[in-house]
Structure 1
Amino acid sequence: MDYGIYTQFFVAMLAIVNPFGLLPVFMGLTSHQDQAERRRTAMMAAFASAVILWVVLLLGEDLLKFFSISVASFQVAGGVLLSFTALSMLQGKLGETRRTTEEGREAARMESVTLVPLALPLIAGPAAITTVIVFTQAHHSLVDKGALGLAIGILALVTWGVFLCAPMLARWLGTTGINLITRVMGLIMMALAVEFMAKGVKGLFPALAG
């Protein structure tokens, strides 16, 4: 077992989901809820996002085969998507690839925000789904999928814990602290995007690999 790959996957997913960066959004979407309801929303949103990513982990490879998409092509496309999200995060923003302005306005009017937009697309967004599929394509044995699935579960627990402590963390970190974390996560994500695109280009054009 290559534990380095699993660690890389977890760090990449943590940077992409960026639960600390989602604190202001979570606080805003649950502002109408009391403490018990907010805790329940945090738990269910984290669990729902894990289920979504687990389904992608199991079926993502079959989905690519169904549409006859090569791994290399998906790596390039995924790298481009991640780079857009990373650029937005480097500016301290959530990113339109995870939630559009119209979706934000609609979410503000929704009574229940657990599944949409919290679990999908804020936590288990396009970038997270893309990363799961790319890693699954490269490491598709039963042991690998089990380890990646465990990493997704740990990520869900971390997200749940951050959301549970949202009021305290928001006061402690402040806007500056949250933006700083978001920018660091964006830098990690940008490096991951470059890695994805480099592998994809090499796969599409083997001569470039030397």
Structure 2
Amino acid sequence: MEIGNLNDYFKFFVALVAVVNPVGAIPVFINLTANQGIKARNATASIAALSVGIILMVVLFTGEAILRFFGISVGSFRVGGGILILLMAIAMLNAKMSNIRQTKEEELDSTERDSVAVVPLATPLLAGPGAISAVILHAQRHDSTLHYLYLSLAVVALTAITGLLLFLAPLISQWLGKTGINIVTRLMGLVMAAMGVEFIAHGLKQLFPILGAS
């Protein structure tokens, strides 16, 4: 049964935390739930975290079928996904919310919603294009049951961490402040940038095998 080593799955988990960046989403969460009481805000946090887990789980087990349906090679998707993640990373390195996650129009629309847990919190802010691409690309590395089990455990752990951070959002915001959150966002952006470059490099080697031979 072919799987990667445990270090590979730990790196996947760290990369997933960096892409989702729940700490960076705390100011947005606080803003969107400003008019909610403690119970309502905690319910929003729970639904948002659970929705992130469900979205990524669905993508984990259907990603390969989606690629086959559209006739997209893994190499092409690696390059495209790597570029997408790299663009998001550049925005994070500048402590900004990438338009890939949420445009200005979507931000204005979200303020008018009664329920913000699934849209825009769970998607596209947390489980957005970058996280979806990362999950699909890591799922393609092996096809064993144990491989998918380890990836599923990473998604479950991410869901738990996301829920915990959203529950504690007011305290974390007070403790870290805007500067602290920006520092964390920049660190996550650095991890994402490296991951994006790695995806692009592996994708180019798959598309152009001569590059791997040199």
Per the shorter chain, which TM-score range?
Answer: over 0.9
Query: 1:133 is matched by which residue type in structure 2?
Result: I
1:153 aligns with 2:156: yes
1:172 aligns with 2:175: yes
Q: TM-score w.r.t. structure 1 length? A: 0.99
Which secondary structure state, in structure 2, belongs to the residue aligned with residue 21 of structure 1?
coil
Matches within 5 A, 1:71-82: 71-82=74-85
Matches within 5 A, 1:58-137: 58-137=61-140
1:52 aligns with 2:55: yes
What's the CA shift for 1:146? Answer: 1.0
Indicate the percent of aligned positions where both proteins have the same amino acid. Answer: 46
Q: Which 4+ stretches in 1 moved above 2 angstroms?
A: none
Query: 2:174 is matched by which residue type in structure 1?
Result: R
Residue 8 of structure 2, aligned match among 5, 9, 27: 5
State the Cα deviation string for residues 136-188 of structure 1 (Å, max 9, x = none).
01122111111101100100100100000111100000010000000000000
Work out the CA distance in 2 between the residues paired with 1:7 and 1:69.
27
Work out the CA distance in 2 between the residues paired with 1:153 and 1:115.
17
What's the CA shift for 1:94? Answer: 1.7
Structure 2 unaligned regions, length at least 5:
none
Which secondary structure state, in structure 2, belongs to the residue aligned with residue 109 of structure 1?
coil
Residue 29 of structure 1, aligned match among 10, 13, 32: 32
Q: Match for residue 185 of structure 1?
A: 188
Q: What count of residue pairs does the alignment treat as equivalent?
A: 210
Which secondary structure state, in structure 1, belongs to the residue aligned with residue 22 of structure 2?
coil
Which secondary structure state, in structure 2, belongs to the residue aligned with residue 138 of structure 1?
coil
Query: 2:126 is matched by which residue type in structure 1?
Result: I
What's the CA shift for 1:114? Answer: 0.9
Work out the CA distance in 2 between the residues paired with 1:24 and 1:140.
38
Instruction: Supply the RMSD in Å over aligned alpha carbons.
Output: 0.7
Structure 1 unaligned regions, length at least 5:
none
